[in-house]
Amino acid sequence: MEKIDEIDVKILRTLIKDARSKLTDIAQECNISITAVKNRIDNLEKSGVILTPALDIDMSYFGYKHTVLIGVNVDQEHEQEIIKIVNEHTKVAGIDQTIGNYDLCLFVFAKNVKELDKLKQTIRKQKGVKNIEINIWHKMHPKFDNIKIESTKRG
């Protein structure tokens, strides 16, 4: 586990909401120098706590009207084939191998229901697939600042 202190926590909370945050603003907020902010961000990137900046695109604006969770139950040895197919057929927000209700949780964007149905039929035909459930997102409520990032240093 990486050691992060209260200032790192503040920096992470800022960058998670806006990867383009100005160093001067962060410096002021944390009451440290711009160089210190830059060094801390460099360290957080080097240690892999910050993986990458990302652009927050509204996929529905670009014609991908549906965000969908496809839950799949599939034999473990065939999971990789499903992952490959989904990546080839549609825009993917995330693929997670899970335990519990589903074996694979696929978060995808689809242009229309027809496209989604085609994807479902394709997955269904794959070896080892036992069950597919489609859950269409109707309204999303993100609240990323509800994550309690905390200092991992004691005292």
Partner 1 sequence: MDKIDKAILKELIKNPKKPFQHISEKIGVAPVTAQARFEKMKNNGAIHGTFSILDLSKIGFQGKAFLLAKASREYDAETAISNIFEIPNVFLISELVGVYDLLVMVVFRNMAEIREIVNKIRTLNTIEKVEVSLTNELNFPLKEEFTEIQLFDN
Summarize as ranges the residues that interact with partner 1 (CB under 8 A).
Answer: 1-2, 4, 12, 15-20, 47-58, 61-62, 67, 69, 71, 91-102, 105, 133-144, 146-150, 152
| C-alpha 91 chain-centroid distance | 13
Task: Determine the Cα–Cα distance for residues 121 and 119; give it in Å rounded to an integer.
Answer: 5
Which of 2, 75 has the CB closer to partner 1? 2
Residue type at position 23:
L
Closest separation in Å from C-beta 35 to partner 1: 18
Task: Determine the Cα–Cα distance for residues 38 and 44; give it in Å rounded to an integer.
Answer: 10
Which of 125, 141 has the CB closer to partner 1? 141
Are 134 and 120 in contact by the 8 Å Cβ rule? The answer is: yes
Task: Determine the Cα–Cα distance for residues 92 and 66; give it in Å rounded to an integer.
Answer: 12
Which of 35, 47 has the CB closer to partner 1? 47
Which of 46, 125 has the CB closer to partner 1? 46
Closest separation in Å from C-beta 33 to partner 1: 20
Closest separation in Å from C-beta 16 to partner 1: 5
Task: Determine the Cα–Cα distance for residues 108 and 86; give it in Å rounded to an integer.
Answer: 8
Closest separation in Å from C-beta 5 to partner 1: 11
